[in-house]
């Protein structure tokens, strides 16, 4: 997965689902232990190792903390989290219970209760889960997660009114929690409030679009809605609901496969936490489904474990570009150059990124370097020319496009862009030559046909040819701007009825465009003058 110049528009990351994953730490609040300087060092080492998935190292580090201070409740909690990630559930429970026996802040005890509630819920021990969940909400009243975890347990125990209240308490603390809407959707479904269930599940999907269960549950709602019209299968709403259910089930299967793939790679990483290949496969799986947040996080861990592996920084930088994190992308590609200062793609991307930040001097330097290292790197020429355009350095931009067209004479877009800039500089004959050359190398270049037609019409030259060019441009792509050009060419040619019909088509496409309306008035005035 390598990234080229035209990266997609930035994508706003979605709020993730509170999943049981290898990288999801149970703690909803930071735990700060009272300990010696040496204990602090081991504690930090353990926390870092846990974030990287190096669970054996994390266990050793937190055990060192406990050797120095056996009464450290926070370290017991951290060990509980590590054991949970290692799927040593009984050891995890023991650590959290031990933390509750030790003196600690309400915050620490609240986290221990919350994590125990989650474990017992996953084991189907809902009575124990409810007990610890109630303690968690008492000790962490300003944190949303204890409330919706307790609500989930209430649902399992059939206490729907209590669950509804707990979910609402969670929303009062944070309105962007996907699991809350999932839970509210489940309650509404159980109580046959189907339209309300749809709203809650759809909200959950906007916040957590990669959670397979939500698609499945929403499909069930639509299926029930579709089947509620017994004997009226031809009812349009019923058919639409059943179709929606089918589509959601397809999405569910796709996400289920995605979850199975990611879980397979995570299990491999449990056994071989420093292995590069499964971690890259995991990142690629996230990327392919569109989950860029998880792909970024996976590559971040990979670069921390393999700091000299060049492709990791390329892929991480590309993802940062896609998500609009320009500063982070710059850091990633600069790391590429630290490892290999001959990497042309890195110079190209750094030029683009600095241009986006309007740091034009740096952008020019990077793009010029990219061109020096690869004379055939077309995107670098486009980038450098447009950096000059942004600074109104049109002569410099023209020179770059002239260089590009001399190297790649079959690049019609470069000829078109060159012609536009030459026209801006009043170099009319050069612009005509550029547009003509663009058509010669690409007979389907709508822009070249359109621009040359407009130029001939404004010059009052070769109007028959201008009509042919403008008609060809519209035939290739009939947007409003090209219809306006054709209308103007007809007008200059004296074909007023055709001009009127054509500009009216442009106005239909863009009814608020005042320039088109002025063109219509100009054409109609010419028609009136002809009648006199």
What's the pLDDT band for 234 if we cut at 50, 70, 90? Answer: low
Hey, what CATH topology would domain 19-140 get? 1.25.40
- Rg (alpha carbons) of the chain, rounded to whole number: 32
Q: How far apart are CA 374 and CA 51, in angstroms?
A: 40
444-532 classified as CATH 1.10.620.20: no
Largest CA distance in the chain: 105
pLDDT of res. 72: 95
88, 59 Cβ separation under 8 angstroms: no
Query: Mean pLDDT, to the nearest integer, of 476-495?
Result: 96
Q: Do the domains at 1-10+290-377 and 444-532 have one common CATH topology?
A: yes
Distance of CA 152 to the CA centre of its chain: 29
pLDDT of res. 199: 97
What's the pLDDT band for 422 if we cut at 50, 70, 90? Answer: very high
| CATH architecture under which domain 1-10+290-377 falls | Alpha Horseshoe (1.25)
Kindly tell me if the per-residue pLDDT of 127 is higher than 50.
yes
Q: How far apart are CA 136 and CA 429, in angstroms?
A: 78
Give the residue from 320, 370, 375 showing the smallest Cα distance to 345.
Answer: 370
What's the pLDDT band for 37 if we cut at 50, 70, 90? Answer: low
Measured from the Cβ of residue 37, the count of other Cβ atoms closer than 10 Å reads: 6
Query: Mean pLDDT, to the nearest integer, of 56-64?
Result: 96
What percent of the chain has pLDDT above 70?
92
Contacts for 395-402 with beta carbons within 8 Å, 24 or more apart?
A: 395/425, 397/421, 398/422, 398/425
Kindly tell me if the per-residue pLDDT of 405 is higher than 70.
yes
369, 349 Cβ separation under 8 angstroms: no
Q: CA separation (Å) from 463 to 93, 136, 331, 434?
A: 85, 81, 54, 19
What's the pLDDT band for 200 if we cut at 50, 70, 90? Answer: very high
Kindly tell me if the per-residue pLDDT of 111 is higher than 60.
yes
What's the pLDDT band for 531 if we cut at 50, 70, 90? Answer: confident
Q: How far apart are CA 383 and CA 6, in angstroms?
A: 10
Q: How far apart are CA 174 and CA 445, in angstroms?
A: 52
Q: CA separation (Å) from 296 to 73, 299, 493?
A: 33, 5, 58
What's the pLDDT band for 36 if we cut at 50, 70, 90? Answer: low
Query: Mean pLDDT, to the nearest integer, of 383-407?
Result: 97
User: What are the E-state strand segments in 350-499?
Assistant: none
Q: How far apart are CA 377 and CA 371, in angstroms?
A: 6
Structure tokens at 188: 């509404």
B/e letters for 184-198, b = 16+ CB within 10 Å, e = fewer, are bbbbbbeeeebebbb
Distance of CA 237 to the CA centre of its chain: 33
Average pLDDT across the chain, whole number: 91
234-248, 373-387, 467-481, 486-500 — which is least confidently predicted? Answer: 234-248
Q: What number of residues does the chain have?
A: 532
151, 121 Cβ separation under 8 angstroms: no
pLDDT of res. 22: 25
Kindly tell me if the per-residue pLDDT of 15 is higher than 90.
no
Kindly tell me if the per-residue pLDDT of 14 is higher than 50.
no
Query: Mean pLDDT, to the nearest integer, of 263-285?
Result: 96
Q: How far apart are CA 470 and CA 455, in angstroms?
A: 11
Query: Mean pLDDT, to the nearest integer, of 163-188?
Result: 97
pLDDT of res. 235: 66
pLDDT of res. 10: 27
Residue 122, phi then psi, degrees to nearest 5: -65, -25
Q: How far apart are CA 75 and CA 34, in angstroms?
A: 10
Query: Mean pLDDT, to the nearest integer, of 435-440?
Result: 98
What's the pLDDT band for 17 if we cut at 50, 70, 90? Answer: very low
Domain boundaries, the chain: 1-10+290-377, 19-140, 444-532
Q: Please spell the DSSP secondary structure of 145-212, one letter per residue.
A: HHHHHHHHHHHHTT-HHHHHHHHHHHHHH-S--HHHHHHHHHHHHHTT-HHHHHHHHHHHHHH-TT-H
pLDDT of res. 407: 96
Query: Mean pLDDT, to the nearest integer, of 193-198?
Result: 96
Q: Find where tokens 């592996």 sit.
A: 309
Structure tokens at 125: 């021990």
20-29, 70-79, 420-429 — which is least confidently predicted? Answer: 20-29
pLDDT of res. 530: 86
């Amino acid at each position: 997965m390598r990234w080229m110049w035209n990266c997609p528009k930035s994508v706003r990351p979605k709020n993730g689902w509170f999943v049981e994953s290898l990288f999801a730490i149970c703690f909803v609040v930071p735990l700060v232990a009272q300990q010696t300087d040496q204990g602090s060092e081991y504690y930090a080492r353990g926390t870092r190792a846990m974030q990287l998935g190096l669970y054996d190292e994390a266990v050793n580090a937190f055990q060192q903390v406990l050797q120095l201070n056996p009464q450290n409740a926070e370290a017991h909690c951290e060990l509980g989290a590590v054991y949970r990630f290692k799927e040593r559930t009984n050891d995890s429970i023991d650590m959290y219970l031990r933390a509750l026996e030790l003196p600690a802040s309400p915050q620490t005890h609240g986290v221990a209760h919350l994590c125990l509630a989650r474990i017992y819920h996953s084991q189907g021990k809902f009575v124990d889960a409810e007990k610890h969940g109630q303690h968690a909400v008492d000790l962490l009243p300003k944190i949303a997660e204890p409330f919706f975890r307790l609500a989930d347990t209430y649902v399992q125990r059939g206490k729907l009114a209590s669950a509804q209240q707990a979910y609402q308490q969670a929303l009062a603390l944070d309105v962007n929690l996907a699991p809350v809407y999932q839970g509210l959707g489940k309650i509404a479904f159980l109580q046959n409030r189907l339209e309300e269930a749809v709203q809650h599940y759809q909200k959950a999907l906007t916040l957590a679009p990669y959670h397979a269960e939500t698609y499945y549950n929403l499909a069930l709602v639509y299926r029930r809605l579709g089947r509620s019209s017994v004997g009226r299968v031809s009812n349009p709403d019923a058919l639409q609901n059943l179709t929606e259910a089918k589509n959601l089930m397809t999405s569910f299967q796709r996400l289920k496969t995605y979850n199975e793939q990611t879980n397979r790679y995570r299990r491999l990483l449990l056994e071989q936490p420093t292995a590069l290949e499964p971690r890259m496969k995991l990142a690629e799986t996230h990327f392919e489904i569109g989950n860029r947040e998880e792909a970024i996080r996976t590559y971040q861990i990979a670069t921390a474990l393999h700091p000299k592996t060049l492709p990791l920084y390329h892929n991480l930088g590309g993802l940062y570009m896609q998500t609009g994190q320009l500063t982070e992308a710059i850091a990633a590609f600069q790391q590429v150059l630290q490892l290999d200062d001959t990497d042309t793609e890195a110079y190209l991307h750094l030029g683009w990124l600095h241009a986006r930040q309007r740091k034009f001097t740096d952008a020019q330097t990077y793009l010029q370097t990219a061109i020096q290292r690869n004379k055939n790197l077309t995107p670098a020429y486009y980038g450098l020319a447009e950096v000059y355009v942004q600074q109104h350095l049109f002569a410099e931009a023209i020179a770059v496009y002239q260089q590009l067209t001399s190297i790649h004479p079959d690049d019609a877009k470069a000829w078109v862009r060159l012609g536009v800039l030459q026209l801006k500089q009043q170099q009319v004959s050069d612009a005509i030559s550029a547009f003509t050359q663009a058509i010669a190398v690409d007979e389907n270049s709508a822009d070249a046909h359109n621009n040359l037609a407009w130029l001939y019409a404004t010059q009052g030259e070769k109007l028959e040819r201008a009509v042919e060019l403008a008609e060809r441009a519209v035939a290739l792509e009939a947007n409003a701007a090209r219809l306006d050009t054709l209308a103007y060419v007809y007008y200059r040619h004296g074909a007023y009825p055709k001009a009127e019909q054509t500009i009216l088509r442009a106005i239909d496409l863009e009814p608020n465009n005042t320039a088109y309306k002025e063109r219509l008035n100009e054409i109609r005035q010419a028609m009136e003058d002809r009648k006199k």
